[in-house]
Structure 1
Amino acid sequence: MKWDDEAVVLSVRPHGEAATIVQLLTRQHGRHAGLVRGGQGARQRGVYQAGNRVVASWSGRLPEHLGTLECELECSYAARVLDDSDRLAALSAAAAVCEGAMPEREPHPACFEGLLVLLEALEGEHWAEVYVRWELAFLAELGFGLDLTACAAGGDNDQLAYVSPRSGRAVSLSAGIPYKEKLLPLPGFLVGRGEGGRSAVGEGLELTGFFLERHLFHPHDKPLPSARQRLAQRFDRSGGAPETTSIT
C-alpha cells in the first residue's frame, strides 16, 4: 500500500535510537502517522518540525499498519515566526488541537485547507483574530458549529454579546444581562463589531476553548492540549468555565 499527499507536520516523537514517529494532517488522508527512519538525524530534523508543509509519501504492507513516511519540505511556517513567541505559540496550539481532536485517517480536506490559511495568516497583523476564527471553523467542520447569527432568547440581533454554553447559540446584551455570570462572552469581532485586540481575542479563546474541550476532548477523557492552554494564558483569559444556563 502506498500514497502521496500534501501534508502539514503536527508532531514528532523519538522512536528507538534513530527513528521518529511523525503525525501529519494530510489533505486526502486526514490525520495520519508514520515511521521516519533516521528522523532524529541532523539532515532530517529540519524537515520534520511542527507546522512545516511537506509532500508526504507513505507506504505500508497493509492499510492499518503504521507504515513508513518520507517527506519533502515545501514551506517552514515555524521559521517565519520564530522570533515572535505569541505567533509561535499559536502555531503550536493549532498543531496540538488538530492532533488531539481529529479522528485518525478520516479525510477532512476543509480542516487541511483551514490550517494552511491559518499558518499563512500568522505573519499578518490580525493573526490572533484569525486563530479564533480558525477554531470556530474547526469545530464546525467536525460537527459542532456555533450559531452566532441570532439571539437564542429572541433579543436584538444587533447587540449579540454572549453565547450560551448549553446550546452554543448567541444571546443579545439585553436578554443575557440576568444570566451574564453563566454565559460566555462573545467578542465583537466575531459578529462584525470591532477589529479585535488582545482582550477580545482572550474572550474568543475562552469561547472556543470551552466548546473544544466539551465536544472534542472531554468525551475522550482528555484535557485541552497544554500548548492550547498556554496560548490562552498569553491573552489573560484563564478563568474557569461558566455554569450551564437555561437559555436554549
Structure 2
Amino acid sequence: MEWRDEGIILGTRRHGETSVILEVMTRGHGRHLGLVRGGRSRKQQPLLQAGNRVDLVWRARLDEHLGTFQAEAVELNAARLFDSAAAVFGLQTIAAHLRLMPERDVHAGLYETLMLLIRHLDEPLLAGELVARFELMVLEELGFGLDLSECAATGARTDLAYVSPKSGRAVSRAAGAPWQEKMLALPGFLVDGPGRRADPAALDQAFRLTGFFLARHVYEPRGVAEPEARAAFLGALRKAAGPIGENAA
C-alpha cells in the first residue's frame, strides 16, 4: 500500500530509540499517523515540528497498519509560530479538535481552513476569529452544526443577535428580546462574512457560544474535558488583545 499527499504536522511522539510517530492532517487522507524512522535525528527534528507543511509518502503492507512516512518540507512555519503564545496554544487547540474526528476520515474543508489558520495564527485577533470559525466547522463535521442562517422564530435573515441554547438556531434581536437572558449572544462576525472583523468582546461571545455546544454535544457525552490548550489560547488572546474568553466554556 502506498499513497502521496500533503499535510500539516500536528505533533509527534517518541518511538524507540531514534524514531517518532508522526501525526498529520492531510488533504486527502484525513488525520493520519505513521512511523518516521530516524525522526529524532538532528536533520529530521526541525522538519517534524507542529505547523510545518510537508509532502508525504505513506507506505504499509496492509491498509490497517500504522505504516511509515517519508516527509519533505513544503513550508516551514514552526519557527514563526513558536514566537507567539497565541499561535502555539492555538495550534494545540486545533490539533485537539481534529483528534475528535475518526482517524483517516477525510475532512477537506477542515484541512483548507487549517491551511489558512497556519498563515495567521501569530496575528491574535485574526487568529481568534479563525479558530472560532474552525470550532463551528468541527461541530458541523461531527453532526452538531449550528443554524445561523435565519431566525428560528420568524425566518428573518437580518439583525440576528442570539442563538437558542436548546436548538442551536439563530434568533433575531426582536424575537429573542423577551428571553435574552437565557440566550447565547451571536457575534456579528460569525454571520456577516469575512468582511466583518471581530473586537475582543465579539470574540468572547464567539468562544462562549462554541464552547457551550462543544461541551454539550462532544465533551460531556464522551466523558472528556475541554482541552487545556483552549483555555491557554484564550488567555494568550486576552493578554494580546484585551479581555477575551473569561469563563468561555
Query: Shared topology, TM-score over 0.5?
Result: yes
For 1:137 and 1:231, how far apart are their aligned partners in 2? Answer: 18
Match of 1:104 in 2: 103
Deviation of 1:63 after TM superposition, in Å, equals: 1.0
Deviation of 1:208 after TM superposition, in Å, equals: 1.6
Which segments of 5 or more consecutive residues in structure 1 lack a partner in the other structure?
242-248
Match of 2:245 in 1: 237
SS in structure 2 of the partner of residue 176 of structure 1: helix
Return the letter of the residue paired with 2:121: L
Deviation of 1:155 after TM superposition, in Å, equals: 7.6
For 2:155 and 2:101, how far apart are their aligned partners in 1? Answer: 35
Match of 2:241 in 1: none
Match of 2:85 in 1: 85
Q: 1:172-214 CA deviation, whole Å, 9 max, x = no partner?
A: 2233333333322211211229521122112212212222333
**Cα 1:88–1:7, aligned 2, differ >3 Å: closer, same or farther?**
same
**Does the Cα contact within 8 Å between 1:51 and 1:95 map onto a contact in 2?**
no
**Does the Cα contact within 8 Å between 1:18 and 1:38 map onto a contact in 2?**
yes
The TM-score, its normalising length taken from structure 1, stands at 0.86
For 2:153 and 2:43, how far apart are their aligned partners in 1? Answer: 59
For 1:77 and 1:218, how far apart are their aligned partners in 2? Answer: 34
Deviation of 1:157 after TM superposition, in Å, equals: 4.2
Return the letter of the residue paired with 2:45: R
For 2:232 and 2:183, how far apart are their aligned partners in 1? Answer: 23
For 1:109 and 1:195, how far apart are their aligned partners in 2? Answer: 25
**Does the Cα contact within 8 Å between 1:206 and 1:232 map onto a contact in 2?**
no
Match of 1:183 in 2: 183
**Does the Cα contact within 8 Å between 1:101 and 1:217 map onto a contact in 2?**
no
**Does the Cα contact within 8 Å between 1:77 and 1:119 map onto a contact in 2?**
yes
Return the letter of the residue paired with 2:247: G
Deviation of 1:25 after TM superposition, in Å, equals: 0.9
Return the letter of the residue paired with 1:37: R
For 1:209 and 1:203, how far apart are their aligned partners in 2? Answer: 10
For 2:64 and 2:107, how far apart are their aligned partners in 1? Answer: 18
Match of 2:113 in 1: 114
**Cα 1:209–1:240, aligned 2, differ >3 Å: closer, same or farther?**
closer
For 2:106 and 2:153, how far apart are their aligned partners in 1? Answer: 37
The count of corresponding residues between Structure 1 and Structure 2 is 240
Q: 1:8-32 CA deviation, whole Å, 9 max, x = no partner?
A: 1112111222221111111111111
Match of 1:162 in 2: 162
Which segments of 5 or more consecutive residues in structure 2 lack a partner in the other structure?
239-243
For 2:170 and 2:10, how far apart are their aligned partners in 1? Answer: 32
Return the letter of the residue paired with 2:42: A
Deviation of 1:73 after TM superposition, in Å, equals: 1.5
**Cα 1:183–1:232, aligned 2, differ >3 Å: closer, same or farther?**
farther
SS in structure 1 of the partner of residue 205 of structure 2: helix
